[in-house]
Structure 1
Amino acid sequence: MSRRQPSLKWPLIIKPLILHLLALLIAFFTLLMVLVRMDSGGYYTLQTFAPIAANAVHRDNQGRLYVQRTHELDELLKVAPGAWFVAEDEQGQTVSFGNVPPTYASLIGRLRGVPFGDLRGHERGDGLAIVIRRHTGPAGKLTIMAHGETDSLTWQMAIAAHVFTLPIFVLLALVTLIATPFIVRKALAGVERIALEAKHISASRRGIRLTETAVPVEIAPLVAAVNEALDRLDDGHERQQRFIAAAAHELRTPIAILRVKIEAADDATSRSLSVEVARLATLAEQLLDLHRLDSAAHLETIHLARLAKRVVADLAPLLIQSGRTVAVVVEPHHPIQGETGAVERVLTNLVLNAAEHGGRNITVRVQGTRLEVEDDGPGIPEAERERVFEPFQRLRPRQTGAGLGLNLVRQVLERHRGHVTILDAPGGGALIRAEFPAHPAGGNLASGHPL
């Protein structure tokens, strides 16, 4: 089971969010401890009693204030039986409820000058913790001085801290979850760019390097290491190509001399060696083909029928000498665009492969944008049809040849955006089909007859 790839979401989003939460909690408890330590003690009346008291004050027909107990007031009295309040309107008229401590009795009639106030008491039941607030009730705008349910400073600070810190944390979490992915994506945009650049690196397109300046400084060493590896690969490939080209060129001269001497020989034994010399020449050309594949191609319009007849005409003497026949069948076809030399080598390799491993009769067929080479030999087993395209692979160990021909055919077809397929010939044997893309401005050409 493959290991799941790690994501940047955890280290760049979730972890900072957890750290923010811990920082807020630490700051909250530190602030709470400081406030509690600064507090001198005592209890506060909860300010929720002031609007309850204002809603319980009414006016009679003469405009005098009176208290009418409400459901909310009754519920509060169950929690704080010693609750009391004084209400004063804007004209100075007052009304009180409960036992007003003497300490605050002197404020009755003067509350209009104190619109807001909080006073603490030493004990929870001493009745001295009060709030002064202005509220509007059934009797109009009133100033309320009230003592009701009390609480300590610590709990009030804890509640206040939660009220302030919770929205801050929620906002911080939302900003982190929304903004961080965008920030990370912008920061790693260069990584996506070099990933696209890396997709264009192939054996046929060397010299491409990843842009080191487009990535963050933390990733730049990795990109630099990849570029250095690509430099080493290109250097090794260049040395290999130079060796192949030099070896192939060096082989051509002695092979050409040997061929001339054999052809000029009088005895049949020496002339029989011409087939083996032709194989050596083919091997040298195939090595050169490996080198040519990496050269820039000169594309031109190719008429497959003309090319097929020319290649077969060049190979016919050799094939006839080895006791084989070859024919060219031209059916309606289209021109293609490609490198003439490379397409000639494709057909040459296919014909020589058929002569080497096929039967006695070979047919070259031109159809559409296809080149087909058919023989009447034993054929190629379906299980081996992919393997024979690998370099230096032979269908049978004792067969002659270097095993490069079909590999070169596939490489040329891939460079021309075509494909090669191995099929069973209708009359037995193998049929190898090389199909090229049609020329953009191509049209049907006249059909011909067997050569």
Structure 2
Amino acid sequence: MDYSPLFGRSSKVDRVLVVDDSPDNTFLIQAILEEEGYKIDVLNNGSDALAYINASPPDLLLLDVMMPGMDGFEVTQRIRKNAKLPFIPILLITAHDQPRVSQGLDIGADDFIRKPVEFDELLARVRSLLRLKHSVDERDQIARQREDFVSRLTHDLRTPLVAADRMMSLLQQGALGELSPEVIEALATMERSNQNLLDMVNTLLQVYCYEAGRKTLSLTPIDVRQLLKEVVQGLMPIALDKGLALQTNLANDDKLIELRGDRLELHRVFTNLVGNAVKFTDTGSVTVRLSTTVHVKADQSVESWVKVEVEDTGPGISPEYHSSLFEPFRHGNHKRSGSGLGLHLSCQIIKAHRGTIEVESQLGKGSLFTVELPTHL
């Protein structure tokens, strides 16, 4: 069936699709809603309704439960399973002798109204569901604008930061002549500050990619022990400068502990966790432990997991910060807290690997971050 004549309408008017095999009922509903200024289209079966909705989703669907062929429950299920469709409120129309209203609500309908339809009740429910629709659409639009803003901002910021970094590197190498010790020191400070800002922009860009669902993991077999050794070796000089003991159990066992994941992304996670532990710990130690565990799945089968613990003797984290620690731009209670993006990004990476990340901490008693990852995605 060709629905093109139905779609040439102004976006300012709410479009309502009524699907009912009873002409008397659809005539009454259409008359009531058109009187209120809504644009009404009418169909008499579920198959045509799905074709219409896929071609041009309405703002609201009034759907009869009992129809020949495909009933309202099946139409509702198919709509809710179609991830490509925007949110469409569904108002089920039921007869007084139909006791299965809860079934429709359970599979995704938003409200129901019984026949014979009453004028005031119909308008009230339609207005309520359209308010819900407008609220969801506005929220989604804000989210899209935010994603677009973050994407453009990070790309636009990154270009001049990279250029500045390269220019300062050339200056330090004497490209424009010999520099005095004071200028060299000033350039080193500028380079560190620029690099910190570039790192934050890159992290923000990575966060955006994960939140927008645009990040694709590059999955390969990973030797977790070797990965952690690289992270620890890279951070060892910083720990030694602070007089900290950076301890591991990585040399205790030569058994290969392997998982399938994105090596670069997991390296980012463990560098962040161990780096934070070193950064926020002034005395004592930072310990990295690697082990394996098993999880029993719902079907009673056993799945092998890798467990990495990062424990420090730092100042600890107040309990009120625990629940929001992995949210973006949330800082802990430490005076040296950074951008608030590192732990959020780490959490996004771990979730993308179907893993978990948790924290245990008390003020004055240090912190323990635990990451668990399945060996196979």
Query: Which amino acid counterpart does residue 201 of structure 2 have in structure 1?
Result: A
Which residue number in structure 2 is paired with residue 366 of structure 1? 290
Query: Which amino acid counterpart does residue 240 of structure 1 have in structure 2?
Result: V
Q: Report deviation, 1:288.
A: 3.5
**1:356 counterpart SS class:** helix
Q: Report deviation, 1:292.
A: 4.5
Contact 1:249 1:284 in 2 (8 A): no
Match of 2:85 among 198, 209, 212: 209
Query: Which amino acid counterpart does residue 416 of structure 1 have in structure 2?
Result: H
Give distance in 2, aligned partners of 1:192 and 1:362.
52
Distance verdict in 2 for CA 1:407–1:258, change over 3 Å = farther
The equivalences for 1:424-439 within 5 A come to 424=361, 428-439=365-376
Asked if 1:287 is matched to 2:197, the reply is no
Structure 2 length-normalised TM = 0.53
Provide, for residues 358-408 of structure 1, a one-character-per-residue CA deviation record: whole Å limited to 9, x for no partner: 334322222221222221111123332122211111123743411111111
**1:242 counterpart SS class:** helix
Distance verdict in 2 for CA 1:320–1:431, change over 3 Å = same
Asked if 1:376 is matched to 2:319, the reply is no
Which residue number in structure 2 is paired with residue 392 of structure 1? 329
Query: Which amino acid counterpart does residue 385 of structure 1 have in structure 2?
Result: H
Unpaired segments ≥5 residues, structure 1: 1-10, 17-179, 199-207, 441-451
Q: Report deviation, 1:348.
A: 1.5
**2:325 counterpart SS class:** helix
Contact 1:424 1:430 in 2 (8 A): yes
**1:286 counterpart SS class:** helix
Which residue number in structure 2 is paired with residue 251 of structure 1? 161
Give distance in 2, aligned partners of 1:12 and 1:328.
71
Which residue number in structure 1 is paired with residue 218 of structure 2? 298
Which residue number in structure 2 is paired with residue 414 of structure 1? 351
Q: Report deviation, 1:257.
A: 5.3
Number of aligned residues: 253
**2:317 counterpart SS class:** coil
Structure 1 length-normalised TM = 0.45
Contact 2:322 2:359 in 1 (8 A): yes
Give distance in 1, aligned partners of 2:75 and 2:269.
42
Which residue number in structure 2 is paired with residue 195 of structure 1? 80
Give distance in 1, aligned partners of 2:324 and 2:133.
37
Q: Report deviation, 1:309.
A: 1.7
CA RMSD of aligned residues (A): 4.6
Which residue number in structure 2 is paired with residue 128 of structure 1? none
Asked if 1:337 is matched to 2:257, the reply is no
> Equivalent pairs: percent with the same residue?
24
Q: Report deviation, 1:432.
A: 0.8
Give distance in 1, aligned partners of 2:133 and 2:358.
41
The equivalences for 1:170-249 within 5 A come to 181-183=65-67, 186-187=71-72, 189-198=74-83, 208-210=84-86, 233-234=143-144, 236-249=146-159
Distance verdict in 2 for CA 1:256–1:307, change over 3 Å = farther
Give distance in 2, aligned partners of 1:435 and 1:257.
42
Q: Report deviation, 1:436.
A: 0.9
Give distance in 1, aligned partners of 2:207 and 2:246.
27
Q: Comparing 379-388 with 235-244, which one deviates more in the overlay?
A: 235-244
Q: Report deviation, 1:238.
A: 3.3
Give distance in 1, aligned partners of 2:133 and 2:209.
31
**2:360 counterpart SS class:** strand
Query: Which amino acid counterpart does residue 285 of structure 1 have in structure 2?
Result: N
Q: Report deviation, 1:325.
A: 4.5
Give distance in 2, aligned partners of 1:354 and 1:196.
44
Distance verdict in 2 for CA 1:400–1:381, change over 3 Å = closer
The equivalences for 1:14-29 within 5 A come to none
Q: Report deviation, 1:276.
A: 5.5
Which residue number in structure 1 is paired with residue 45 of structure 2? none
